[in-house]
Amino acid sequence: MRVRRVVAVVAASVIAVVGALVAVELVRVAGDAAEQPGLADFYEQPADAADGAPGTLVRSEPLEGVPAASEAWRIMYRSTDLNGDPIVVTGIVVTPLGPAPDGGRTVLAWGHPTTGTDPSCAPSRGFDPFIGIEGLRLMLDRGYTVVATDYAGMGTEGPDSYLVAQTASRSVLDAVRAAQELEPTETSDRVVLWGHSQGGQAVLFAAEQAPSYAPELTVAGVAAAAPAADLTALMGSHLDDISGVTIGSYAFPAFASVYGPTVPGAELDEILTPAAVAASPEMNRLCLLTNLDRLHEIGQPLIGDFFAHDPTTTEPWATLLAENSAGQRAVEAPVYIAQGADDHLVLPADTEKFVDQIRSLGDDVTYEVVPLATHSTIAYLALPTLEGWLDSLD
């Protein structure tokens, strides 16, 4: 009889906890839904949106459906592209409730994986703008303020920056500066960079560029899960498969739009077949996760008929891929790299070569290969070891 009472008490406790979590989640979902009408208005740039220093806020608005024990904002802020020209970028900021530690909160700058290149694919425009920040709960529980850029060209009007490392890295660093302008975040100049796939390339490049671009920030560490760090290796591994077509349909139009006006031979029809050029506008309008079936439907017939020439050996594309790859200079902060053993997009062998490369530059690298992890699961499955690495930075 006593055992039954204990079981009943435990069951009641579990039901109460689950009920409380469901109630909190329902409130959060209701908040997300309440923000959807009129959402597009936030992303309309004021006439003077680009007028101001990089990292300054254009506008911000509080978010309603926030994670437990936090407050959050959608932000529009100023940055610069790879040529130093002013641009406008969007994103979100999330910070824990309660007083900040002495000296202020560490800022965790998140670089998201590929969601697409159309403005509608920006994570901050999603129904739940928090769900894609991998490890958000861990970071908030550590007392970090989290800022997540959409990257330039997503969310609001701007140049397409897909895998254009210089522009993406500046979007990351200027997002940190913008988060510091929100007084409730109580941030310090201490920054941790964390990104996955495309975001891994962005944060690794940001760590390389921070001393010259944002010298007032102290980068305490940079972490990347299955980073798209070596674009030559990434493209070379997928020249004749659906991943190469899908990534290429985003990357090469972006490169052509950014470099085509000034770099001879960097026009789209110089590297893609006529069929690929014709398909690229529709593919660029489709967001990756919500339209994967349609992307593959368009892309499958292009396998073997997508690249007119091998971009890893054809100029100027070979040079552009190399210039937009990380690992070109030493990073002053510790580096953490996680790689899924079962990743078929960013291949383990390619990441291992990248790790060897940055170690040869003198980087302090912690390299973790996670068994059974795929490209989509690696950032989550790496969180336990990432947390231990973060502890070592404090």
CA distance 385 to 391: 10
Structure tokens at 356: 């060897």
Instruction: Give the list of residues 6+ apart from residue 210 with CB closer than 8 angstroms, or none.
Output: 173, 191, 217, 219
CA atoms within 13 A on the CB side of 374: 3
CA distance 175 to 44: 18
Q: Cβ distance 61 to 43 under 8 Å?
A: no
β-bridge pairing 335-340 and 70-80: unpaired
Beta bridge partners of 77: 57, 89
**How many C-beta atoms surround the C-beta of residue 116 within 10 A?**
21
Q: What is residue 68's three-state secondary structure? A: coil
Q: What band does 394 get if pLDDT is binned at 50, 70 and 90?
A: confident
How big, in percent rounded to 5, are the helix, strand and coil portions of the chain? 45, 20, 40
Q: Which fold has domain 40-230+325-393?
A: Rossmann fold (3.40.50)
So what's the pLDDT on residue 37?
59
**Residue for token pair 């102290």:** 218
CA distance 10 to 3: 11
Distances (CA, A) of 171 to 121, 124, 136: 16, 14, 19
Of 232, 239, 251, 253, nearest in space to 322 by CA:
232
What would the pLDDT profile of 57-101 be if each residue is shown by its tens digit?
A: 999 999 999 999 999 999 999 999 999 999 999 999 999 999 999
pLDDT above 70: percentage of residues in the chain: 90
What would the pLDDT profile of 360-376 be if each residue is shown by its tens digit?
A: 999 999 999 999 999 99
**How many C-beta atoms surround the C-beta of residue 367 within 10 A?**
16
Q: What band does 197 get if pLDDT is binned at 50, 70 and 90?
A: very high
Distances (CA, A) of 204 to 209, 248, 328, 349, 368: 9, 21, 10, 18, 16
DSSP string, 350-376: HHHHHHHHHHHTT--EEEEEETT--TT
Chain length of the chain: 394
So what's the pLDDT on residue 99?
94
What would the pLDDT profile of 320-344 be if each residue is shown by its tens digit?
A: 999 999 999 999 999 999 999 999 9
The residue-averaged pLDDT of 278-305 equals 96
What would the pLDDT profile of 1-33 be if each residue is shown by its tens digit?
A: 444 454 444 344 434 433 433 444 444 445 455
Segment holding 320, helix H or strand E: helix 317-323
So what's the pLDDT on residue 157?
85
What would the pLDDT profile of 212-239 be if each residue is shown by its tens digit?
A: 999 999 999 999 999 999 999 999 999 9
Distances (CA, A) of 374 to 98, 228, 251, 329: 37, 14, 22, 29
91-112: b (≥16 Cβ within 10 Å) or e: bbbbbbeeebeeeebbbbbbbb
Q: How buried is residue 200: exposed, middle or buried, by Cβ count under 10 Å (0-12/13-18/19+)?
A: buried
Structure tokens at 341: 């053993």
Q: Is the pLDDT of residue 143 over 80?
A: yes
Q: Is the pLDDT of residue 34 over 80?
A: no
CA distance 204 to 222: 7
Q: Is the pLDDT of residue 345 over 50?
A: yes
pLDDT above 90: percentage of residues in the chain: 88
